[in-house]
C-alpha cells in the first residue's frame, strides 16, 4: 500500500527562482535564504520519496481569468516549465505519476471533492521553486511529482477547513493505492506578504511563527481562520497559506517536527519552511503480544514455585531418611 510519510511546506517566491537561475545564491542576501534549506535538501536526499504531491498555485501561467479551477490535479505524464514572461525557467520537465494521480482523482471525487482533472498543463515558479529548494538543481527531478493547483489568486479561494479536509481525502486515496509507494506531500506559498497597494511589503512575523506552531501542534485551530484574518494579518497574498492545510490534512494528527526555518525578507516576502513526519508504521515485534505477557510471566513464576517446592520436598525426604 502507498502511504504519506511526511509533509513539507515552503514559500515559492519567484525571486528565489531567479536567484538560482542567475547564479546569485552565494550573494549575502540570498545565501541567508538558501542556507536555511541545506538541511532540507539533506533530509529529502535521505528520505528518497517515490512520489511527491506538490500543492501550489498557478500565477496566471496555465490558467487565467477565463478558467479558474478551485482545485486542479495534474494527471499528465509530464508538465513542462511555463514561460512567465522571460522564457521558461531552466529547470527539468516535471514528470508526473498518471496512475497514482488518476487514482487520487477518482477517490477524492467519489469522496465529494469536485476537483478538476488536468491532462495538459505547464507549471510555473509556484511549483518549480519549492522543488529547487528541496532537491537543488539536478538534471532531472529525482522522482515523479503530482501537481495540485489551488486557486488562491481570484476571490473566492477555498477555506482553510475545505483545504484540510481535501488533505484528509488525499490521505485516504493514497492509502488505498495498491503499490507500495512512499509519498511526501508539499504545501507551498506564503508566508505573510502583500505585493501591491498601500500595504505592499507587509510582513507579520508574529502571525507567521504562530502559524508554524499551529501547523505542528493544532492544525484544526488554523482551519478556523477566516479569509479576512489572513488578509488583515498576513497581507493580500498571505491567503496562499491555506494550501499548507492540504498538506497538513494529509498527515497524521500527531506529527514529528523535524525541521523549521524562517527568515525575512526574501523579495518583500516572509520565507517559512517546516518538515513534519508521520510516525513510522508499526512493525511486527518479536516479543509476544502484551496481552500474553502477564500470563507467560505467571506461568514462569508458577514453574519456579513448583521447582522450589519440589526441592524443599526432596530435602525433607532426605532429612526423614536420615532419622
Ligand atoms: Fe504565489
Tell me, yes or no, if 125 is annotated catalytic: yes
pLDDT in tens, 215-269: 999 999 999 999 999 999 999 999 999 999 999 999 999 999 999 999 999 999 9
Question: CA nearest 244: which of 184, 161, 186, 204?
Answer: 186
Q: Which of 12, 103, 125, 273 is catalytic?
A: 125
* 110's grid cell: 467519489
Torsion sign (Cα): 16, 54, 52, 94? negative
Mean pLDDT of the chain: 91
Tell me, what's the pLDDT at 185? Answer: 98
Residue 265: other Cβ atoms inside 10 A: 16
Q: How far is the CA of 293 from the centre of ligand 1 (A)?
A: 56
> What per-residue string of b and e applies to 195-226 under the rule 16 or more CB within 10 Å gives b?
eeeeeeebbbeebbeebbebbbeebeebbebe
pLDDT in tens, 66-119: 999 999 999 999 999 999 999 999 999 999 999 999 999 999 999 999 999 999
Q: Which of 97, 193, 227, 273 is catalytic?
A: 193
Instruction: Confirm if 256 and 279 have CB atoms less than 8 A apart.
Output: yes
Q: How far is the CA of 53 from the centre of ligand 1 (A)?
A: 17
Q: How far is the CA of 257 from the centre of ligand 1 (A)?
A: 24
Tell me, yes or no, if 273 is annotated catalytic: no
Amino acid at each position: 500500500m502507498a502511504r504519506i510519510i511526511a509533509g513539507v511546506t515552503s514559500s515559492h517566491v519567484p525571486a528565489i527562482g531567479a536567484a538560482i537561475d542567475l547564479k546569485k545564491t552565494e550573494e549575502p542576501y540570498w545565501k541567508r535564504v538558501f542556507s536555511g534549506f541545506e538541511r532540507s535538501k539533506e533530509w529529502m536526499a535521505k528520505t528518497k520519496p517515490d512520489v511527491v504531491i506538490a500543492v501550489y498555485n498557478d500565477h496566471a501561467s496555465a490558467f487565467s481569468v477565463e478558467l479558474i479551477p478551485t482545485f486542479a490535479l495534474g494527471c499528465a505524464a509530464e508538465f513542462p516549465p511555463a514561460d512567465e514572461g522571460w522564457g521558461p525557467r531552466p529547470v527539468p520537465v516535471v514528470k508526473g505519476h498518471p496512475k497514482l494521480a488518476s487514482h487520487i482523482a477518482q477517490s477524492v471525487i467519489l469522496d465529494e471533492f469536485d476537483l478538476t482533472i488536468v491532462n495538459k498543463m505547464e507549471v510555473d515558479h509556484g511549483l518549480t521553486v519549492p522543488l529547487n529548494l528541496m532537491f537543488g538543481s539536478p538534471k532531472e527531478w529525482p522522482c515523479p511529482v503530482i501537481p495540485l493547483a489551488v486557486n488562491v489568486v481570484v476571490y473566492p479561494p477555498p477555506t482553510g477547513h475545505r483545504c484540510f479536509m481535501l488533505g484528509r481525502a488525499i490521505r485516504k486515496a493514497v492509502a488505498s493505492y495498491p503499490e507500495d509507494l512512499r509519498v511526501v506531500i508539499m504545501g507551498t506559498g506564503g508566508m505573510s506578504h502583500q505585493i501591491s497597494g498601500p500595504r505592499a511589503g507587509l510582513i507579520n512575523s508574529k502571525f507567521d511563527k504562530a502559524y508554524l506552531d499551529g501547523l505542528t501542534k493544532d492544525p484544526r485551530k488554523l482551519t478556523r481562520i477566516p479569509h479576512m484574518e489572513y488578509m488583515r494579518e498576513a497581507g493580500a497574498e498571505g491567503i496562499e497559506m491555506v494550501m499548507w492545510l492540504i498538506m497538513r490534512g494529509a498527515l497524521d494528527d500527531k506529527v514529528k517536527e523535524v525541521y523549521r526555518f524562517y527568515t525575512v525578507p526574501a523579495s518583500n516576502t516572509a520565507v517559512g519552511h517546516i518538515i513534519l513526519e508521520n510516525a513510522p508504521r508499526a512493525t511486527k515485534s518479536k516479543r509476544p503480544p502484551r496481552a500474553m505477557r502477564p500470563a507467560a510471566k505467571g506461568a514462569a513464576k508458577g514453574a519456579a514455585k513448583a521447582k522450589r517446592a519440589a526441592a524443599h520436598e526432596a530435602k525433607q525426604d532426605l532429612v526423614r531418611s536420615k532419622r
